[in-house]
Amino acid sequence: MPDFKLPTKDQGRRAVAPILLAASFLCLTVSTRSLEGLPESLGLTVFGFFQRGFSSVGGFVSDSAASIAELRRLRENYRELSAKLERYTNMERGIAELRDENKRLKDQLGFSQEIPYQRIAARIVAKDPENLYSTITIDKGFGEGIRKNMPVIALQDGIEGLVGRVIEVGRGTSKIVPLYDTKSFVAARFAGGSRTEGLVGGQGSAGEPLVMRFVKKRMKDEIQFGDLVITTGYESLYPSDVSIGRVKKVRVLDYLTSIDIELDPVLDFSRIEYVFVIKPNASGSDSDAAPAEKSDAPASGGSAPK
């Protein structure tokens, strides 16, 4: 049987000392609560990191969605404002056109009241594109008193100018052959100075100058660039003293006894909108004229109204 020895007092003290030290540390820790929140703090630290990450991602997605919605709203507002701007621009353009139209009509009305012969105001409704605008259609016809071969004038930029003559009359419309047509011939003269006369005709296009022919060669030195040429009115379809054009160029040929003069028309035919058809006092040579228009006065076209 083995020998069993009881521990000595020194050994007992050495064994009890660590136990007492651990118990004291435990009591000290429990009493001060210094480690009470350590697990919770560690858990909060770990979960807080992931929570901040999820919150940042969620905030980014939320902000992106809000930005997309805001962008759509801004795009819709831009479209609405663009449409409004276009409408207002069109309205402003329309108002400006109405203002210009009103001014033109006032000018035409004042001119209509000033001219010393009977007239019929008309609006151009069509131009013939097949013959380089060699005919012009107006919105007045036989019912308004228009007859064949009546002269037509217009006002443009404050200048009274010759347009042409009526060649065809319908019930509600009429056709005019313009001054620049090759079939048009007008007795003309210079407005001042020499009062030299000639015959003005067209070359078939509004872009080509008019030509004044049969002007005496000896008058070439008296003719200046820009001189005004007007109608004579001598036993003519056209009234007298209506502006035709201004001198652009003088053509002199040695083998001819006369000179040809190129004229720039006083009217821009591409911009004419309204015209006045002139009623002559006498029309014995016009078989289409109404009886009320016949008289014993000479057909000069430049006399006072009846």
Chain segment 174-212, per-residue pLDDT in tens: 999 999 988 889 999 998 777 889 999 998 888 888 999
Q: Phi, psi at residue 304, to the nearest 5°?
A: -75, 160
pLDDT given at position 233: 83
**Average confidence (pLDDT) over 48-65:** 70
Q: Which residues contact 289 (CB under 8 A, 6 or more apart)?
A: 147, 283
pLDDT given at position 112: 56
What is the distance in angstroms between the CA of the first residue and the CA of the last residue of the chain?
172
Question: Do 164 and 177 contact (CB within 8 A), yes or no?
Answer: yes
Q: Grade residue 302 by pLDDT with cuts at 50, 70 and 90.
A: very low
Within 10 angstroms of residue 277's Cβ, the number of other Cβ atoms is 24
Question: Do 179 and 186 contact (CB within 8 A), yes or no?
Answer: yes
**Sign of the torsion formed by the C-alpha atoms of 239, 241, 245 and 247:** positive
Q: Phi, psi at residue 215, to the nearest 5°?
A: -95, 130
Q: Grade residue 19 by pLDDT with cuts at 50, 70 and 90.
A: confident
Q: Which residues contact 299 (CB under 8 A, 6 or more apart)?
A: 235, 236, 237, 280, 281, 282, 283, 284, 285
By CB atoms closer than 10 A (0-12, 13-18, 19+), residue 254 is exposed
SS in 3 state form for 213-271? Answer: EEEEHHHHHHCCCCCEEEECCCCCCCCCCCEEEEEEEEECCCCCCEEEEEEEECCCHHH
SS3 204: coil
Q: The pTM is what?
A: 0.58
- Among the residue ranges 22-36, 87-101, 121-135, 226-240, the one predicted with the least confidence is 22-36
Tell how strand 185-190 and strand 258-265 pair up. Answer: unpaired
- Residue-wise pLDDT for 246-277, tens only, equals 999 999 888 888 999 999 999 999 888 889 99
Helix (H) or strand (E) holding 99: helix 38-114
